[in-house]
Amino acid sequence: MYWDNIPSVILQKQREVFAALDVPLQQESAHRIPHGTWMNGVVERMDSDDIVIFCDIDAFPLKRSAYDMAVAHAERGAIFGLSQFSNHKKTTHTYAGPMFMAFRKRVWEQLGRPDLKSSSAYDAAEGMSALAREQGVPLVLHKPTSTLISKFALGNEGVFGIGTFYGDNDFFHLFESREPAYEQLLVAVADDAIAQRPLQFAQYLEAAMALQQGTPLVKKKRRWWRRLLG
């Protein structure tokens, strides 16, 4: 889902990545509707045997095998998600983040149909992982392995931030896609995924460092695209 403050290029590039991987994608405009409220509505309209897959508007698998892996875990009764941590809450555990999350609806029902909205205790969908731990439902958390701009602590397990890669370059999540300055990072990664070519980490890092140093974005963006085009 997305609000009206998301740049159109983010929407387009996500669609292109999913199309290149031959994975169906449904983007839904839900302006000013809280993330968890929207997720509750999505789960409610599914059948019990359906696999529910949530993906943030600025996230995507980098290869088809990563998507298939997430679905396979959900089919076996686990909750799969990119590992997330709520630094603004008092929780102490990582959880399956809905920036890319897969589970069978029946598992959600078995957990007592937990509300996926944010609360004073949990961030969106975090409570589902807490219940899974209590009730012995398998949690498969795909950890971040690199990030272009470190910004947040993953509890005591590592860091994540703007432009984070998960697993063996399985998934990418931009974070803070409402900020136009970061869209060039997503576009660069998406274009490599669409072309199914090796990821160009040196170029991503150069652009990320320019953003951190305050290099004028227009000038940097022109240099960036000239390099990509030849």
Structure tokens given for 103? 């589970």
Phi first, then psi: what are they for 139, rounded to 5°?
A: -115, 125
**What are the tens digits of pLDDT across the range 34-74?**
999 999 999 999 999 999 999 999 999 999 999 999 999 99
- How far apart are the C-alpha atoms of 102 and 52, rounded to whole Å? 6
* Burial class (CB within 10 angstroms; exposed 0-12, middle 13-18, buried 19+) of 99: buried
Return contacts of 110-115, CB within 8 angstroms, 24+ apart. 110/135, 110/137, 111/135, 111/137, 115/36, 115/40
128 band by pLDDT with thresholds 50, 70 and 90: very high
Q: What is the model's pLDDT at position 199?
A: 98
Per-residue model confidence (pLDDT) at position 215 = 65
Name every residue whose Cβ is closer than 8 Å to that of residue 41 and which is 6 or more positions away in sequence: none
Whole-number Å distance between alpha carbons of 194 and 42: 27
* pTM: predicted TM-score of the whole model, two decimal places: 0.91
Domain definitions of the chain by residue range: 8-228
Q: What are phi and psi of 43, to 5 degrees?
A: -65, -40
For residue 92, the model assigns a pLDDT of 85
- Residue 65's CB is within 10 A of a number of other CB atoms, namely 12
Asked whether residue 79 carries a pLDDT value surpassing 80, the answer given is yes
Could you write out the three-class secondary structure of 170-223? Answer: CEEECCCCCCHHHHHHHHHHHHHHHHCCCCCHHHHHHHHHHHHHCCCHHHHHHH
pLDDT > 70? residue 126: yes
- Whole-angstrom Cα distance, residue 61 to residue 70? 10
**Residue 216, pLDDT above cutoff 70:** no
Show the CA angle centred on residue 197, arms to residues 192 and 202, nearest 5°: 65
Give residue 176's pLDDT. Answer: 95
CA distance 186 to 23: 19
Distances (CA, A) of 31 to 11, 75, 101: 14, 31, 21
Q: Does domain 8-228 have CATH number 3.90.550?
A: yes
| Strand 95-104 relative to strand 59-61, pairing | unpaired
Q: In the structure, what pLDDT confidence band is assigned to residue 228 with cuts at 50, 70 and 90?
A: very low
